[in-house]
């Protein structure tokens, strides 16, 4: 039976990188059917809503979505449509690979191959209970960490290690200072790790982790951490390997999964054919892994690497003079 996925073309450079990505997926003969749905500004213009019920239904039905970046207008009812999607589908695992690629403007053109697994639903980032005192001088918020939230994300990281033949999981925390919240996360992580004797587990305090990442990123394999630390660390890792144009991300829950580029809508270059499609393409590769097509995912990544190696039609952010579709055709031609 043909698998159908929800496709959200998005805003800004979104439609351009999605067209490029679907072109490459066609050359890869993935055999997927697409149900197009709107969210963000595109949806607001058509339906008056940022996240229409039809889009939610489509994701719920298909369980897998490929999504371009979205604009969340200020005063639109949500602080972020992306955060809203994570909440509504309980997409608890944010999985962001960072891998060295040739001919990028990176400090580490080789040696980095790590995955950050970030808890996506609780902790300081969820911005619960934000309050400002009446005199405006004291701000507070609640950081909530649960056993359930910690256990499922750490288990996801260890299962990912097993599934992909990776050898080590690093638990990143600040339990020396944040004794209750980070302390619970670390305690639960140790309990889960004990159930995976085949995978090495080490622990690092988040500040030391950042220094180690910048100095010796090759020592990392899988990093698992809480929401806010994961937000920061995964951008740091994207920076290590050449920036946003090459950074994909997956948001995974029990009932749905959404695959995307990490970058935003890039309004400064939208409509000019300058956008690098690689981040969304690498998100599509994560999706193919998720859909049980690891061979096609591997071929896609190899074609991207070969195109970067040949410096064929690279977009301006990579120092080339190609455009989005020319780059996509160069990748498709190497499949
Ligand atoms: P951005 O990622 O859109 O852009 C930052 C810089 O990186 C810009 O100079 C841009 O031109 C460049 N860039 C980004 N993607 C690129 C690509 N594929 N190829 C080449 N260059 C690329 O970040 P921003 O400017 O802070 O945000 C713009 C908008 O995007 C905001 O409305 C924000 O809310 C939204 N946003 C959406 C998502 C998402 O939907 N996942 C994520 C982040 C930001």
Encode pLDDT of 34-90 as tens digits.
999 999 999 999 999 999 999 999 999 999 999 999 998 876 667 789 989 999 999
Distance CA 170, CA 210 (A): 12
Ramachandran assignment for 123, one of left (phi > 0), alpha (psi -120 to 50 degrees), beta (any other)? left
ipTM: 0.98
Spell out the domains of the chain, with CATH numbers in brackets: 1-94+246-335 (3.40.718.10), 113-240 (3.40.718.10)
With contact defined as beta carbons under 8 Å apart, do 326 and 313 qualify? Answer: yes
Among protein residues, the one with the nearest Cα to ligand 1's atom 11 is: 266
Select from 69, 242, 315, 319 the residue to mutate for testing ligand 1; criterion: most ligand atoms less than 8 Å from CB.
Answer: 69
Q: What is the distance in angstroms between the CA of the first residue and the CA of the last residue of the chain?
A: 24
With contact defined as beta carbons under 8 Å apart, do 138 and 132 qualify? Answer: yes
Catalytic machinery residues: 125, 174, 207, 231
Encode pLDDT of 84-109 as tens digits.
999 999 999 999 999 999 988 888 88
| pLDDT for res 76 | 60
| pLDDT for res 1 | 81
Select from 39, 67, 264 the residue to mutate for testing ligand 1; criterion: most ligand atoms less than 8 Å from CB.
Answer: 264
């Amino acid at each position: 039976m043909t698998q159908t996925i929800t496709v959200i073309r998005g805003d800004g450079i979104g439609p351009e990188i999605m067209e490029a990505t679907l072109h490459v997926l066609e050359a890869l003969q993935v055999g997927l059917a697409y149900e197009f749905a709107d969210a963000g500004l595109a949806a607001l213009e058509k339906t008056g809503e940022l996240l229409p019920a039809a889009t939610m239904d489509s994701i719920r039905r298909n369980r897998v979505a490929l999504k371009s970046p979205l604009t969340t207008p200020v005063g639109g009812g949500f602080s972020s449509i992306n955060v809203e999607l994570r909440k509504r589908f309980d997409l608890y695992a944010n999985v962001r690979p960072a891998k060295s690629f040739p001919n990028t403007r990176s400090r580490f053109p080789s040696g980095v191959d790590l995955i950050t697994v970030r808890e996506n639903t609780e902790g300081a980032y969820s911005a619960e209970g934000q309050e400002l005192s009446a005199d405006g001088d004291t701000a507070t918020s609640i950081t909530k960490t649960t056993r359930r939230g910690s256990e499922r994300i750490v288990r996801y990281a260890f299962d990912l290690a097993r599934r992909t033949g990776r050898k080590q999981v690093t638990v990143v925390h600040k339990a020396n200072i944040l004794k209750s919240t980070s302390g619970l996360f670390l305690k639960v992580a140790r309990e889960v790790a004990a159930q995976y004797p085949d995978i090495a587990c080490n622990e690092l305090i988040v500040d030391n982790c950042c220094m180690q990442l910048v100095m010796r990123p090759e020592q990392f394999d899988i990093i698992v951490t809480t929401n806010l630390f994961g937000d920061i660390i995964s951008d740091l890792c994207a920076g290590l390997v050449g920036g946003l144009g090459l950074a994909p991300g997956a948001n995974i829950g029990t009932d749905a999964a959404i695959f995307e580029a990490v970058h935003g809508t890039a309004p400064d270059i939208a409509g000019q054919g300058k956008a690098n499609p690689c981040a969304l393409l690498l998100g599509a590769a994560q999706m193919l892994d998720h859909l049980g097509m690891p061979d096609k995912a591997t071929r896609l990544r190899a074609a991207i690497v070969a195109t970067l190696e040949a410096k064929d039609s690279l977009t301006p952010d990579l120092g080339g003079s190609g455009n989005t579709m020319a780059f996509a055709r160069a990748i498709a031609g190497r499949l």
